[in-house]
Amino acid sequence: MYVLSNELYFPPILQAEEDGLLAIGGDLSTERLLLAYNNGIFPWFNEGQMALWWSPDPRMVLQPKDIYVSKSMRKVLRDQTFTVTYNKSFLEVILHCKRIKRDGQYDTWITNSMVEAYLKLHELGNAISVEVWRDDNLVGGLYGIDLKEKGVFCGESMFSLESNASKVGFIALSGKLEKENYRLIDCQMYTDHLASLGAAEIPREEFLSFLL
């Protein structure tokens, strides 16, 4: 297992373990995070642990044009129950993602240091949020890293306080990214929720080709 030093460096992706773990240690500086995402690597660890850096194979992704909108979701969108905004409440979104209770999860990987690090990325324009509102209440959203020059959005986490709220945000973002000629949304790892929206696993090598 490769242990990172203060040097801005990650080992070759092929050195990752079978579960995708590539390296441990290092910091969450803006420079290291951007280096990681631009090379298909992301941090994922619990409070109190050393930073763990991952590049799983296969990789869960969605091409924006392939977003799946079910009949029931089309009705939700037509009813205009929710309003979607971008970059209006980044801190609120990431804090909701941090605090939301998830089935089978007893801790959060969105540590306090991660909140601070991604807020800095947002202030620099490298991280964006999607907010979903009912009236004036924030009821869903998501955030991630925006690799504009590569046409790739790296989704980090989403939350929903009302049924379908996060789906509305993800569908709206997919449509926005398709119009802006983005090629890929990186969803990192498989979940049934993402699969229901059209995301699918591809070989890591294929995913990395989008980052060249």
- What is residue 103's predicted lDDT score, i.e. its pLDDT? 54
Q: What is the CATH number of the domain that holds 98?
A: 3.40.630.70
State the average pLDDT over residues 64-76.
97
Q: Print the domain residue range for 6.
A: 2-54
Do 100 and 28 belong to one domain?
Answer: no
pTM for the whole thing? 0.94
SS3 at position 169:
helix
Section 136-162 average pLDDT: 97
- Percent of the chain at pLDDT > 70 equals 97
If pLDDT is split at 50, 70 and 90, which confidence band does 126 have? very high
In the predicted model, is pLDDT for residue 105 greater than 50?
Answer: no
- The count of domains in the chain is 2
Say whether both 158 and 109 belong to one domain.
yes
Per-position DSSP letters for 14-49, written without gaps between them: GGS-TTSEEEEE----HHHHHHHHTTT-EE---TTS
Tens-digit pLDDT profile for residues 158-196:
999 999 999 999 999 999 999 999 999 999 999 999 999
Do residues 77 and 50 both lie within one domain? no
Give the pLDDT band (50/70/90) at residue 106: very low
> Tell me: the pLDDT tens digits for 35-64?
999 999 999 999 889 999 999 999 999 999
Q: What is the CATH number for 45?
A: 3.30.70.3550
Closest CA to 37 of 156, 163, 133: 156
The span from the CA of 183 to the CA of 197, in Å, is 16
Same domain, 47 and 17: yes
Question: What's the pLDDT band for 65 if we cut at 50, 70, 90?
Answer: very high
Under the banding of pLDDT at 50, 70 and 90, the label for residue 108 is low
Q: Is the same domain home to 152 and 173?
A: yes
Same domain? For 49 and 69 the reply is no
* Domain C-terminal end among 34, 54, 74: 54
Q: Is the pLDDT of residue 100 over 90?
A: no
* 106 and 27 in a common domain: no
Q: What's the CA gap between 49 and 33, in Å, rounded?
A: 17
Same domain, residue pair 34 and 100:
no
In a shared domain, residues 203 and 185? yes
Closest C-alpha to 67, from 168, 159, 144? 168
The DSSP letter of residue 202 is E
Same domain assignment for residues 135 and 205: yes
Residue 207 pLDDT greater than 50, yes or no = yes
Q: What is the 3-state secondary structure (H, E, C) of 116-162?
A: HHHHHHHHCCCEEEEEEEECCEEEEEEEEEEEHHHCEEEEEEEEECC
Q: What tokens appear for 31 in the block?
A: 């420079």
**Measured between alpha carbons, how far is 53 from 24 in angstroms, rounded to an integer?**
6
Mean pLDDT of the chain: 95
Q: Are residues 11 and 99 in the same domain?
A: no
Q: Is residue 93 domain-shared with residue 173, that is, in the same domain?
A: yes
